[in-house]
Chain A
Amino acid sequence: MKAELIKHESGRNTYALKGEIVNSADFAFLDACIEEKLSVHLDLSGITYINSSGFGGLVEEAMNFTEARLELILSGLAPGIRKTLAVLGAEELLHFKD
């Protein structure tokens, strides 16, 4: 997975993610945002695949952001992927903007 910072505004970073999310460690770059008290918007329109490990990593990060009183917002996830991940509770555990 590749993450590119595409927008930095007051209190919020926006990243465009590309490729496959198959490892919870893919989100290590978000730890720095939490430390800097930045909310994050992840544009997932370039994501082609997410497995259970990647999904677990997303949920873990969402919890970390919530605990830090910050926001982790997702958008652009392909409907087919989003529909399948819904059986794992994606709609309840993650914050989708669209």
Chain B
Amino acid sequence: MSAKPQKRRHRRAEFLRRVRLYLESDVTLHGITHDVSTHSVAVFVNLKNASALYGAVAAGRAPLSAIKGKLLGQTALLEIAEEGLDPINFTIQRVEPSWKKGFHLFIGGRFVNADEFLVKKLEQVCPALLPGPRQREVYVSEGLPDFLEDLRRLRAEEFVCEFSNGYHNVRDHRDLVTALAAHHEFPEEEIYGIKLLADEALMNAFLYGSIEPGRDRTQLRALLAPGRIYLAVRDYAGIEFDDFPYHFRKERADQRGGLSLLEELSDDWQVQTVPGEYTEVCFFKAVASPSSP
């Protein structure tokens, strides 16, 4: 069996600006953006100085998750500091509470009117923005090509399917992947980890990959050989994965969220996004098995 691949990653270009977020409820949130594209934005806000609306949260009397429902679907105004841009309308489509640190919130959304004028202005603000779809490799596994070559050499069994988004499909396909891993000689003590990894990739597609009717499909591709699995889950929404700038990633490193789980339980993993087209999360794992060459 090949040695466990070494994990080396590239980070995508950062775009750090202070922002203000004006919500429908006359609440203003302060934070940063690290990720503005021509159609979407991701911001990281601090709730500590928010108004009375979040008083209970700030005082520790209510979980942050309680405000998630209030924010999803809202149209908010984004003001990027020091850039001379008029506030931009966007619809909040993703809210992630920082459940350990308590006061930070990740908010992602799409611009309501991403017209030519706005795109031009955004390109002036961030010259790295390119018009049209582009692939952004949020996390790149350098060990993946070797692993796939190994699977080809072993004549791995391929399993591909596409299904509509829905929690029952997440559960059914999670259990299917688990059964496939058991059939391909993954030992009992590794099966639960494979189940969690599959769940994580599928839940990501379920939660963030169904923004428009007709585009709520999820594709699952698995390659399996004795004691080896590669799993890729693709959704067709193309909402960019949140990649926190270094200091925030450092801060979040102990939050034990889904990404930590992929990092801890797989040999390596990768996320690729073409904004507005697809997002694909994949992982691979190999264990010693009786029939490993």
Contact = CB atoms under 8 A, between A and B. Distances in A.
B287 interface: no
Interface in A37-92: 49, 51-53, 55-56, 59-60, 63-64, 67, 80-81, 83-84, 87-89
A56 B99 contact: yes
B256 A81 contact: no
Contacts of B193: 84
Given A25-B65, A52-B261, A88-B264, A59 B195 contact: no
How many A residues touch the partner, as a band?
20 to 34
A13 interface: no
A1 interface: no
A59 to B, nearest CB: 7
Contacts of B256: 52, 55-56, 59, 88-89, 93
A3 B99 CA distance: 23
Nearest to B200: A52
B289 to A, nearest CB: 18
Interface in B61-109: 63, 65, 99-100, 102
Interface of A: 22, 24-25, 49, 51-53, 55-56, 59-60, 63-64, 67, 80-81, 83-84, 87-89, 93
18 contacts: A22-B203, A49-B195, A51-B203, A52-B256, A52-B257, A53-B258, A55-B256, A56-B256, A56-B257, A60-B99, A63-B102, A64-B63, A84-B192, A84-B193, A84-B265, A87-B265, A88-B256, A88-B260
